[in-house]
Amino acid sequence: FEIEYERRAALSRKLFTRASQVIPGGAGSSARTVGFGWHPYPPFIAEGRGSRLRDVDGNEYIDYLLGLGPMILGHRHPVVTRAVADAIDEYGTCFGLPYELEIEAAEKVVDAVPGIDQVRFTNSGSEAVGTAVRLARATTGRRLVIRFEGHYHGWQDVVYWSNHVDPELAGPADQPRPVPSGPGVPLELSDTLIVLSWNDPESFVRVMRERGDEVAAVITEAAVFNTGCILPEPGYLQLLRDVTREYGALLIFDEVITGFRFARGGAQEYFGVTPDLTTLAKGLGGGFPVAAIGGTLDAMRLIAEGRYSHSGTYNANVIQCAAVSATMDVLAEPGLYERQRALGDRLADGLRALTAERGIDAYVEGLGTVFQLWFANRPIKNWRDASAYADEAMFTRWFQEMLLRGVLFHPLQFENLFVSLVHTDSDIDETLTAAADALTAAVRR
Ligand code: PMP
């Protein structure tokens, strides 16, 4: 792979060498570096258009990385790009004061997402999560937060725990030990956290019985997309809802990935379970950098009454609000989600058939517009299963063989394949043709 990749990515090699002088790791986020699977170096991108990317060496890719999620409408969606450019022309970019377009964007999000009566826009998913957790603590006057192994909620100290850590350190599955996800996190914070295995109703109910009245919030992805893709077992989200309510703890759905992806109202609409607080980012701005913290009137009350200060110089700037408003309009097209889910399902079904024909232990989990191909001979229900049973080496070979055939997604099995709302039937046909060859080659290597 390395020899073939170096041959076709010579200009990327040059840019990587240059970038590494002035940018640590040669890229702006660690998820784009060699350490996150972009071996021997990532392709440097020349442009994105619709469902396609072209790199500086002229290689074209059908793009299922989609910026790690935000490009839900594909690259350079004409409606959103035009709306942002027009808004900058009309208003400027940033005032440090409110303005009407901000209300319009907020009204559309409130209209779309069942658990959101009020919303504040901010800059990244990590910021939104940090606000949500502190707001839950402020609202309840409690300290403990329950989070789940293998979920990622951004890089802030309060939540940067127990995501793809060393299984040896993580303790028993029914009573995990909080382990920081990297160095620099104050270990004292472990006293403020309870970490649990996901999709495990017994351990959740047991812990809530013991300490439920100390718990400020339970934070969860509504379907896990930071350990590949794992859907909730039937009834699990409703159980989280019922038991948090019983003990007066707030339920936070981190919908940074799931928001606007399964349905316009997010996973909460799709699964029919409404949280107290919701964090959004990625799909929200159709590719422009914007995030949001939203919730019920009760959950947002401290902010509304000025008793909790949520601030940010760039919050709700013109670029963000124009992008949100236009994206919400595009996503309102009748039948859009049904059509796209059907397209994504065709890809998923195709991959199921191709792996089965070749006798490969694999299965696809997900919901059309985002899924993962697990190379495993048993169902993966949580991070413990993933680290024990999923064949990482096979995933790497599959990724590499697809990259050489012009299909791009993240090299780690713990990420996912995103299908945008502008991928086409011919994209799927081409991808399945490439996959047929790539799977055969990946098994042989
Ligand atoms: N929450 C979830 C569920 C995420 O997937 C991510 C990013 N992958 C974040 C929070 C953090 O968002 P951001 O990268 O915008 O800070």
pLDDT, mean of each 10-residue run, the chain (445 residues): 97 98 98 97 98 98 97 97 98 97 98 98 98 98 98 97 93 94 97 97 98 98 95 97 98 98 95 98 97 98 97 98 98 93 94 97 90 95 93 98 98 96 96 98 94
72 alpha carbon – ligand 1 mean position (Å):
15
Residues with CB under 6 A from ligand 1: 124-126, 129, 152-154, 221, 226, 254, 256-257, 281, 291
The DSSP H or E segment spanning 307 is: none
Q: What stretches of 75-200 show up as alpha helix (H) in DSSP?
A: 78-91, 100-112, 125-140
Q: Whose CA is nearest to atom 14 of ligand 1?
A: 125
Element (H, E) at 417: strand 417-418
Of the candidates 360, 367, 358, 365, the residue with the CA atom closest to the CA atom of residue 391:
360
Q: Which one of the listed residues 152, 160, 270, 363 is annotated catalytic?
A: 152
* Closest-lying ligand 1 atom to the alpha carbon of residue 29: 14
> What pLDDT shows up at residue 424?
96
Ligand 1, atom 7, lies closest to the CA of 154
Task: Measure the CA dihedral 63/181/160/192, to 10°.
Answer: 150
Q: Which two tokens stand for residue 120?
A: 């504040």
**Is 254 annotated in the active site?**
yes
pLDDT in tens, 357-387: 999 999 999 887 899 999 999 999 999 999 9
What is the per-residue pLDDT for 368? 76
pLDDT > 70: percent of the chain: 100
Supply the pLDDT for residue 433. Answer: 98
Protein residue with least CA distance to atom 12, ligand 1: 125
Q: Ligand 1 centroid vs 68 CA: distance in angstroms?
A: 9
Atom of ligand 1 nearest to the CA of 129: 10
Q: With H, G, I as helix, E, B as strand and everything else as coil, classify residue 220.
A: strand
The DSSP bridge partners found for residue 196 are 148
Number of residues written out for the chain = 445
Q: Of these residues, 55, 200, 254, 427, which one is catalytic?
A: 254
Answer whether 152's CB lies under 8 Å from 316's CB.
Answer: no
Q: What are phi and psi of 246, to 5 degrees?
A: -55, -40
Atom of ligand 1 nearest to the CA of 221: 3
DSSP 15-53: HHHHHHHHSGGGSSSGGGSGGGT--S-PPPEEEEEBTEE
Judged by DSSP in three states, 106 sits in: helix
Whether residue 174 lies in the annotated active site: no
Question: Which one of 255, 282, 416 would you pick to mutate in the ligand 1 pocket, going by the greatest count of ligand atoms within 8 A of its CB?
Answer: 282
From the CA of 7, how far away is ligand 1's center (Å)?
Answer: 34
Residue nearest to ligand 1 atom 1, measured at CA: 153
Report the complex ipTM: 0.99
Instruction: Give the residue ranges of DSSP H helices in 96-254.
Output: 100-112, 125-140, 201-211, 236-247
C-alpha to C-alpha distance for 412 and 366, rounded to whole angstroms: 16
Report residue 441 as tokens: 């080659």
- Report which DSSP code applies to 237: H
Distance between Cα 1 and ligand 1 center (Å): 31
Domains and CATH numbers, the chain: 2-76+335-444 (3.90.1150.10), 78-331 (3.40.640.10)
> Ligand 1 centroid vs 230 CA: distance in angstroms?
16
Ligand 1: distance of its center to the CA of 9 in Å?
Answer: 29
